Structures are given as C-alpha cells and as structure tokens.
Amino acid sequence: MAYYFTSESVSEGHPDKIADQISDALIDNFLAFDSESKVACETLVTTGQVILAGEVKSKTYLDVQQIAREVIKKIGYTKSEYMFDANSCGILSAIHEQSPDINQGVDRADKENQGAGDQGMMFGYATRETEDYMPLALDLAHKLLIELAEIRKDGSEIAYLRPDAKSQVTLEYSDENVPTRIVTIVLSTQHDDFIKPSEKGFESQNLANKEMQSIIEDDIKSILIPRLLKKYPQYTHLFEKGEIEYLINPTGVFVIGGPHGDTGLTGRKIIVDTYGGKGAHGGGAFSGKDPSKVDRSAAYATRHIAKNLVAAGVADEVLVQVSYAIGVAKPTGVYVNTYGTSKVNLSDGVIAQKVSELFDLRPYFIERNLKLRNPIYSETAAYGHMGRIPQTVTKVFTSPNGEEKTMEVELFTWEKLDRVEDVRKAFSL
C-alpha cells in the first residue's frame, strides 16, 4: 500500500538558522587566522538581542560583534521594523577559554592519535532518489526556500518578502518505495504589512489580511513554482501527477517573524541540516563546532562514505553509523544498513568491515582527508549540510587589527565522489 513521507526546511532568515550562521561565521574566522583553533560556540537571538557563548582555544583574537552584525546584514535583517536589525541589535559575548579537561583528550603529540572531541554516534545516509543522492522531500523543501530567498533579495518580482520562511513537502511513495507524486506543499513566508485596512475595526483588518494571504498564495504558485521547475526540470513530472494541496501561510498573516517572533538557538534544526527524517541522526548538532568535534566531522565522513557506496553501485540506499569515546582515536564501532537494496552478495556486517578497511575514521584522518581545518562552514549553516555541490571558492577575512587574509578553499568536500573507483575495486564491481 502506498504511503506518505514528509520533510521540512527553514530559510536563512529563520531564527535558529540565524544563530547557526553566526556560530559558523565565528568558526570560519577563527580557523582563517589559526587553523588549529578549538571552538564550540553557541548563539541565541531574540528581539533586538544576540548572545554569544561557548569555549575557544585559539591564538587569534576576533571582533565577534562585528562578525555577527555582518552575518545578520547579509541575511537581510536591515530594517528597524523587523525589531531585529544588524546595525542596532545588542550583542553580548560570553565566550571563554576551552576546558583543559576536554582539550587533553583531543590534542596529541602524534597528530594521528588525536582523540575524538566527544563520545557519541554519527550517521551518514545516501539514496538514489535524487541526482545529489539525497531524500527527495528534503531536496524539494530546501530548493523551494533557496529560490524564495533569491526572489526576496532581487525584489523585482515580489517586493514584500521578509527573511523568515519555512517549507514542508509531503510525497506519496509506491509499494516499491519509489516517490510517485507530491501530495502537499506547505510554505510560510514572512512578509510586509503591505495592505492596510480601509477603516478601523476587526472586520476591516480581517479583510485586509485575507487579501494579503490571497496575493501571497497566487505569487507562490505563479512565480516561485515556475522558477523552481525552470531551474530543476527533472522534478516537473512530480508536479503534474495529481492535484497538489498548497498550504500557503496557513495561519494567515506572517508579519511578525525572525528573532522578534521566535527566539533562535544554535543547533535546533539538526534534521533540516541532514536528511529530513530519513536514515537516522545521532543527536549532535553541527554549527559552531570545529572539526575536532566528531559530532560534525564524523557526520560528514559517514555521508561521504554512504554517497560513494551508493554511487559505486553497492546499494541503492545506505546508512552508515560510526561511534566514538572521548579522547580515543579509533571508533568504537562501524555499522552499515543497506535496507535490503544491496547489489553485492555480502551481508551488511561484511560491508561494514570493508568500509572500516577502506575509510580511516580516526578524527585526524577525517580532518585531513576532507580538508576540514579550513574556513568552509558558513556555507553549510543554511539549506542543509548534505547534498550540496562541492566547489572551490576564494574567501577574504579581516582581523580586528586590519590584517586581511585571502584563502582559496574547497566547500562540501564530503560530497565528492572521489572514492567510487576504490569502492568498486574493493567490492569487485
């Protein structure tokens, strides 16, 4: 019997994502001037206020307030009516030195024996559902909001959009676990109060609100969706099968949003950041953590493994788990689940053993092989850490004393299909 599956995404202007982006901007700036920095930085945003807290071990000094303001400005919170403005919000820093008790478990004279920054388990997942080996519902949810953000920043087609937004996509799957159609699209976008009531009173205000909602719904259907399909024609068939239920701003007006409407915290969107509820999640957030924290680096490493396994033809769907003890380099366990889609005549346990032999999952080697001690994290902090396009970019950082550093870095290295031939050889494919 067919079944439904749903995933959601949030925009870069969502309060939790503002917090993630500030935390990761701090990571990038620390790593740019001291690649050995150890950082665990949390951010809280609320009406007119940003609070930074966490632990840092670094040789560099940063103007953390200025970095936070630049992130907020780039997202689009630049107007006082938002009640959260890059130029005027208060920023309080409570960042202090990292505990030596934690650091002693990580740093080693022999870098190859660098211990894990914490205990825990991390998961990587990949599926053939999309070209980027990501679950389809999440892929669509992300792409809807990326396109909406482009429309907002351009301003020529829709002028009333504000930064905060959420999306949700429900798909119907066949008995063979193949997505066949889109059932529901939910999209809530913050907007200006662009239609005023003709007179005072609840009834007049209600009419104005309904008119705004109607215009927003029409614009989403007539502007956003066609732009999405023009950019991603491979999804056209999903929009043509059956009638899609659109729920646009289902509560009505959405003028009050961002940190004024809801407090934001680093690390509260871990499912949006990964696989939209598919596969599994170990529970650890990514943003604000340097790569010695295996919550982050090992999640990237297992995604890299899963994607290369699927691309090599080992299985159509793969989940990889790795676990660690704090201060210990060697993983305590590696697990693989192919969900019955394996194309090789081996048990999942044997596949896991081969994975352990092919991929060095000690923290130092993850950092080295995926080039994680570079300032590459700001780009991960909105619209998902997985399923992104690997690319080389040039980034410029400026220290408080005016020192400018230009760096060429590789983004999303864990998305590279650079081990496919190694996997095929190991599995005789």
Task: Give pLDDT tens digits for 322-343.
Answer: 999 998 999 999 999 999 999 9
User: Cα 55–57–62 angle (5° rounding)?
Assistant: 85
What is the token pair recorded at 428? 């005789």
pLDDT band, very low/low/confident/very high, at 115 (cuts 50, 70, 90): confident
Burial tier of 424 (Cβ tally within 10 Å: 0-12, 13-18, 19+):
middle
Query: Does residue 418 register a pLDDT over 70?
Result: yes
For position 113, what pLDDT does the model report? 75
Helix, strand, coil fractions of the chain, as percent rounded to 5: 35, 25, 40
Domains 3-8+136-257 and 120-127+291-426 agree in fold: yes
Rounded to two decimals, the pTM is 0.96
Q: Residues annotated as binding site for L-methionine?
A: 55, 98, 262, 293
- Residue 233 half-sphere exposure toward CB, CA atoms < 13 A: 1
Q: Residues annotated as binding site?
A: 14, 16, 42, 55, 98, 164-166, 262, 268-269, 285, 289, 293
| Amino acid, res. 221 | K
DSSP H helix total and E strand total for the chain: 13, 13
Phi-psi region of 258 (alpha: psi -120 to 50; beta: other; left: phi over 0): left
State the DSSP string of 138-198: HHHHHHHHHHHHHHHHH-SS---EEEEEEEEEEEEE-TTS-EEEEEEEEEEEEE---S--S
Rounded-to-integer distance, Cα 253 and Cα 169, Å:
21
Rounded-to-integer distance, Cα 422 and Cα 429, Å:
10
For position 98, what pLDDT does the model report? 72
Q: Residues annotated as binding site for Mg(2+)?
A: 16
Query: Does residue 103 register a pLDDT over 70?
Result: no
Q: What's the fold here for domain 120-127+291-426?
A: GMP Synthetase; Chain A, domain 3 (3.30.300)
Using CA atoms, how far residue 288 sits from 1, 114, 152, 218, in Å, is 43, 20, 27, 38
pLDDT band, very low/low/confident/very high, at 344 (cuts 50, 70, 90): very high
CB 320 within 8 A of CB 305: yes
Query: Does residue 102 register a pLDDT over 70?
Result: no
DSSP reduced 3-state for 309: helix
| Amino acid, res. 266 | T
Q: Residues annotated as binding site for ATP?
A: 14, 164-166, 262, 268-269, 285, 289
Nearest to 390 by CA among 371, 405, 403, 407: 371
Q: Residues annotated as binding site for K(+)?
A: 42
DSSP reduced 3-state for 80: helix
pLDDT tens sequence across 9-60: 999 999 999 999 999 999 999 999 999 999 999 999 999 999 999 999 999 9
Q: Which of 72-76, 188-192, 195-199 has the lowest mean pLDDT?
A: 195-199
pLDDT band, very low/low/confident/very high, at 114 (cuts 50, 70, 90): confident
Average pLDDT score over residue span 408-424: 98
pLDDT tens sequence across 351-410: 999 999 999 999 999 999 999 999 999 999 999 999 999 999 999 999 999 889 999 999
For position 97, what pLDDT does the model report? 84
For position 106, what pLDDT does the model report? 63
What is the token pair recorded at 324? 């660690």
Average pLDDT score over residue span 343-352: 97
Nearest to 307 by CA among 381, 389, 373: 389
For position 330, what pLDDT does the model report? 95
Rounded-to-integer distance, Cα 33 and Cα 22, Å:
17
For position 99, what pLDDT does the model report? 63
Structural domain spans, the chain: 3-8+136-257, 120-127+291-426
CB 404 within 8 A of CB 294: no
Percent of the chain with pLDDT over 90: 90
User: Cα 346–348–351 angle (5° rounding)?
Assistant: 70
Rounded-to-integer distance, Cα 117 and Cα 289, Å:
10
Q: Does domain 3-8+136-257 have CATH number 3.40.50.12280?
A: no
